[in-house]
Amino acid sequence: MAKFVVQPGANIDGFTLGECVHRGGMATLWSVTRDGIAAPVLMKIPRVSEGEDPAAIVSFEMEQMILPKLKGINVPHCYAAGDFARQAYVVIERIPGQTLYHRLPDLPLPYDEARLLALKIADALCDLHRQNVIHHDIKPSSIMFRATGEAVLIDFGLSHHDHLPDLLQEEFRVPYGTAPYMAPERLLGVRDDPRSDLFSLGVLLYFFTTGVRPFGESETMAGMRRRLWRDPYPPRQLRADYPPWLQEIVLRCLEIDPVWRYPTASQLAFDLTHPDQVKLTARSERLKRDPLSTVLRRRFNGNPINERSKSAVAAQVASSPIVAVAIDVTEGSSELNEALRITAERILKTSPSARLACLNVLKLGRVTIDRTLDEEGNNKHVGRLVTLKHWAASLKLDESRLTAHVLEAVDPAGAILEFAEANHVDHIVIGARQNSLVRTLLGSTSAKVAAEAPCTVTVVRLPWRASEDGGRGEPSDDRSLPAI
């Protein structure tokens, strides 16, 4: 069958080609139109002429397999694909604007601006990893932003899908990617660990906040292999005002062994959302690279990457959930809170890498002016933070796995649901007291959370107590957790 002629005005499977908007190393992008599609779209066509890199064909096959399976606001919508028998192509949504690459002349960016950019990218990676895909080419030119602010990941030719054949792994023995952003384990042939994307995001965040790439511009294999044993200069050595919480995040992303990085993109996004709650370690204060003795030990003691750290996408995400527990601090809630503690402890034992977020809602009046101090003159918000941390103390969690949050809201259930969605919470544990007329008429916080949460919800309820008059069992006080 004859090939299509790729030129303006040509018709390929009902798509009319307009102008060529980009010529890349592996493919060209064309604006196209077709009856029935009102949105702006692009057709991506691989370069397959004489002398082209065969990896371009294989990477395009990967993109053809992966793109149609992706959903959500963080990836471009795929409208159609054509095979190599006639004309290979994919037709995708055209995202308005430019890639993050156009911000390079502005570097270094203000710290908080860079944090917000990294947070949006981490959110996008969280969504991608939950779809069993690792991007493997996170860099400024692979990231765009919607007008509504969400990051959009593009260019999936080097990606790995946990449920599809990995043609790049099967057909080539050299790692493909963008050298300055490539994770160390990629050099050892590991393509199934989602923490590789977190390393690349760490490189980007380092670059955007210092103006310097942590591993330089080297494209040689020898230069790239040095990152198997050599850590980058700490950002605080380059910029004296570099925030300790930001260095903690960046250097954790850039750990050589994936086991020491953030276990999931959602946990990284959590720290970027709450910089004031980042647990600082020795990383945050470092001014020098690792000593030569440490470097030599990594260099000559065999594979520096912990074999146990390798993990398939779904398994890694599932083993490192974010668990939120809603705690009531009102009088008479101690028994229910103990039941919540036992439930949380059981959940955490099954997931040693889980992160726990303790929540309490400081309920605001709809029309009244709320007082920030209690009857004794103490700040309500601070007092509840202290209470949450006291509740969690018996769990004996490492500080890096625990945060406390007091949410101020008129609607407790809505506040919990909003927190869960914004922070990629995987499991909510919430208590509920027994039925009463008030609960029947107004509905309960726990019922609303269970009905509307985007994740697993465990509702903990105490047994009914017998009434004082010796009659049939009656429900105790109905205050649903954590409406205060």
Span 84-119, pLDDT tens digits? 878 889 999 999 999 999 999 999 999 999 999 999
Cβ-contact 351, 472 below 8 angstroms: no
DSSP secondary structure, 326-392, as one string:
E---STT-HHHHHHHHHHHHHHHHH-TT-EEEEEEEEEPPSSSPPPSB-TTS-BHHHHHHHHHHHHH
pLDDT in tens, 210-225: 999 999 876 677 888 8
Q: Is 36 left (phi over 0), alpha (psi -120 to 50) or beta?
A: left
Strand partners, 15: 12
Residues of the chain with CATH 3.40.50.620: 321-474
Cβ-contact 321, 457 below 8 angstroms: no
84 vs 416 pLDDT, higher one:
416
Cα 368 from Cα 370, distance rounded (Å): 6
Q: 11-93, superfamily in CATH? A: Phosphorylase Kinase; domain 1 (3.30.200.20)
Q: CA of 115: how far to CAs of 24, 59, 110, 210, 425, in Å?
A: 29, 31, 9, 13, 20
Q: Is 314 helix (H, G, I), strand (E, B) or coil?
A: helix
Residues of the chain with CATH 3.30.200.20: 11-93
Dihedral of CA atoms 128, 134, 139, 145 in degrees, nearest 10, equals: -10
Cα 461 from Cα 267, distance rounded (Å): 29
Cβ-contact 482, 328 below 8 angstroms: yes
Cα 469 from Cα 465, distance rounded (Å): 12
Cβ-contact 392, 338 below 8 angstroms: no
Predicted local confidence at residue 312, as pLDDT: 67
On the 0-12 / 13-18 / 19+ scale of CB atoms within 10 A, 177 is: buried
pLDDT in tens, 369-401: 556 666 666 777 778 888 888 899 988 888 778
Q: Is 189 left (phi over 0), alpha (psi -120 to 50) or beta?
A: left
What is the topology classification, in CATH, of domain 321-474?
Rossmann fold (3.40.50)
Predicted local confidence at residue 196, as pLDDT: 97
pLDDT in tens, 159-207: 999 999 888 887 776 788 889 999 999 998 899 999 999 999 999 999 9
Mean pLDDT along residues 223-244: 94
Q: Which two tokens stand for residue 221?
A: 């294999």
- Give the whole-number percent of the chain exceeding pLDDT 90: 57
Q: Is 323 left (phi over 0), alpha (psi -120 to 50) or beta?
A: beta
Q: Considering just the CA atoms, what is the radius of gyration of the chain in Å? A: 26
**Lowest model confidence (mean pLDDT) among 24-38, 157-171, 205-219, 430-444:** 430-444
Res. 8: pLDDT tops 60 = yes
Cα 331 from Cα 455, distance rounded (Å): 29
Q: Does domain 100-317 have CATH number 3.30.1360.10?
A: no
What's the pTM value of the predicted model, to 2 decimals? Answer: 0.85
Q: Which two tokens stand for residue 161?
A: 């899908």
Cα 281 from Cα 479, distance rounded (Å): 40
Cα 213 from Cα 364, distance rounded (Å): 47
472 vs 159 pLDDT, higher one:
159
Mean pLDDT along residues 235-248: 98
Closest CA to 478 of 443, 439, 446, 449: 439
